[in-house]
């Protein structure tokens, strides 16, 4: 199979959670690179909440994936054959590989990994887009300051676990929202969160947040949306900031939850701000350097949740929305 490229294409648009029934596998011969291109062997593929948006009927600001298209996905690959300057066989790269085992792609869209900054596994999360999203989101958009209270939803997820640790490094009180006692225990015991709330076990999430954040929430970093967002808005301190990074609870719904308490933003002098990490591209080196420095000093860690084989990717996409992952979910495709 050395000359085979296994691909997964979109077969049907999901109306709820995505899963294996929405994708079709096929095998094509690999394609020799043309000038400016490289032929790759995929090592890891990243599974991200945004992927559910890409395959929806109306994804908004990103181009949607059409039925029959190869599923879009970021990942890490090894260069097998190169007709591009600056990339040689054996180099590792990050790029939009798609769900395929042996893609041939233009080198211009790929980033050569600097393994001096971190391992390939770190490039998947901590110093990759995930880490950068956490870094710019909580610092630049959230504007966290020492002594403030930071609440993070999806705290055991890819971005959330890093956001919380950055909050601790910035001398904040950090409270995480996650589903299940195991995830919550890990946030406190392994990652140094001050407290964790198991939203699945709390009949009144707003009351639980108020108990865990008695002085109010200064920054809420939201990966979840919906009822979680509403509960956190109710707990905002004067001058509170909400960073909307994701809305994993809402992405698979036909009709999203309606947030009823935006009027509180007036008296709280509070703001809600959305962002897209690619707007910070000019500062990625700054962010990566900071994240890599903290990681090398042992002050920042990540949990990767690894599943195996390209064919497991659609199942992984469903796991993400069912909350079955702890940490950054990736598909291991080849060594």
| Residue 76 and residue 334 in contact, taking contact as beta carbons nearer than 8 Å | no
Task: Return the residue of 262, 286, 293, 322 that touches a copy of itself, per CB under 8 A.
Answer: 262
CB nearer to a copy of itself: give 140 or 311: 140
Q: What are phi and psi of 201, to 5 degrees?
A: -100, 0
Part in contact with a copy of itself (CB under 8 A); list of ranges 68-76, 85-93, 192-200, 253-261 = 253-261
Angle between helices 205-212 and 226-234 (to 10 degrees): 40
Name the DSSP class of 155. T
As given in the structure block, the two tokens for residue 304 are 């990767």
Q: By CB under 8 A, name the one of 125, 128, 225, 287 that touches a copy of itself.
A: 225
Q: How far is the CB of 162 from a copy of itself (least distance, A)?
A: 18
Does residue number 257 form part of the binding site for a copy of itself (CB under 8 A)? yes
Rounded to a whole number of angstroms, the minimum distance from the CB of residue 240 to a copy of itself is: 10
Judged by CB, which is closer to a copy of itself: 260, or 296? 260
CA dihedral 294, 244, 328, 74 (to 10 degrees): -100
Binding residue for a copy of itself, selected from 276, 293, 296, 322, defined by CB under 8 A: 276
- φ/ψ of 329, rounded to 5, equals -90, 125
Site for a copy of itself in 48-77 (CB under 8 A): 60-62
Q: By CB under 8 A, name the one of 109, 256, 309, 322 that touches a copy of itself.
A: 256
Q: Is the dihedral of CA 15, 20, 24, 29 positive or negative?
A: positive
Residue closer to a copy of itself by CB (options 203, 263) is 263
* Cβ 256 to a copy of itself shortest distance, Å: 5
Among 275, 301, 307, 311, binds a copy of itself (CB under 8 A): 275
Does 283 interact with a copy of itself (rule: CB under 8 A)? no
Rounded CA-CA distance 202/291 in Å is 33
Beta pairing, strands 217-222 & 236-244: parallel
247 binds a copy of itself (CB under 8 A): yes
Query: If you search the block for the tokens 């990103």, which residue do you land on?
Result: 62
What's the CA gap between 120 and 138, in Å, rounded? 24
Tell me which stretch binds a copy of itself (CB under 8 A): 7-15, 183-191, 269-277, 287-295. 269-277
- How far apart are alpha carbons 17 and 318 in whole angstroms? 6
Examine residue 244 and tell whether it contacts a copy of itself (CB under 8 A): yes
Cα–Cα distance measured from residue 64 to residue 51, given in angstroms and rounded to the nearest whole number:
10
CB of 257 to a copy of itself, least distance (A): 7
- Given a contact cutoff of 8 angstroms between Cβ atoms, the answer to whether 23 and 16 are in contact is no
CA distance linking residue 134 with residue 320, whole number of Å: 18
**Minimum CB distance to a copy of itself, residue 258 (Å):** 2
- Chain residues binding a copy of itself by CB under 8 A are 60-62, 225, 229, 244-247, 250-251, 255-276, 279
């Amino acid at each position: 199979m050395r000359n085979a490229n296994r691909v997964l294409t979109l077969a049907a648009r999901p109306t709820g959670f995505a899963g294996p029934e929405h994708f079709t596998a096929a095998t094509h011969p690999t394609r020799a690179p043309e000038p400016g291109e490289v032929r790759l062997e995929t090592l890891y593929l990243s599974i991200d909440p945004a992927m559910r948006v890409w395959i929806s009927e109306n994804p908004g600001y990103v181009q949607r994936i059409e039925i029959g298209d190869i599923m879009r996905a970021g990942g890490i690959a090894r260069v097998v054959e190169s007709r591009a300057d600056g990339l040689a066989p054996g180099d590792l790269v990050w790029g939009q590989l798609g769900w395929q085992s042996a893609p041939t792609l233009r080198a211009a869209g790929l980033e050569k990994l600097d393994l001096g900054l971190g391992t390939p596994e770190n490039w998947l999360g901590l110093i990759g887009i995930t880490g950068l999203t956490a870094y710019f989101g909580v610092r630049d958009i959230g504007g966290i300051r020492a002594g403030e209270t930071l609440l993070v939803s999806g705290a055991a997820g890819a971005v959330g676990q890093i956001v919380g640790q950055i909050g601790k490094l910035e001398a904040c009180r950090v409270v995480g929202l996650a589903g299940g006692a195991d995830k919550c225990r890990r946030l406190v015991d392994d990652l140094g969160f001050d407290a964790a709330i198991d939203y699945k076990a709390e009949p009144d999430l707003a009351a639980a947040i108020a108990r865990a954040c008695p002085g109010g929430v200064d920054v809420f970093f939201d990966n979840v949306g919906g009822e979680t967002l509403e509960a956190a808005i109710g707990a905002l301190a004067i001058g509170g900031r909400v960073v909307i990074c994701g809305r994993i609870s809402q992405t698979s719904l036909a009709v999203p939850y309606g947030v009823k308490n935006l009027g509180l933003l007036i008296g709280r002098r509070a703001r809600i701000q959305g962002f897209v990490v690619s707007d910070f591209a000019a500062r990625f080196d700054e962010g990566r350097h900071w994240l890599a420095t903290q990681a090398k000093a042992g002050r920042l860690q990540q949990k990767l949740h690894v599943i195996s084989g390209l064919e497991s990717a659609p199942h992984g996409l469903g796991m993400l929305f069912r909350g079955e992952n702890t940490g950054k979910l990736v598909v291991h495709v080849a060594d």
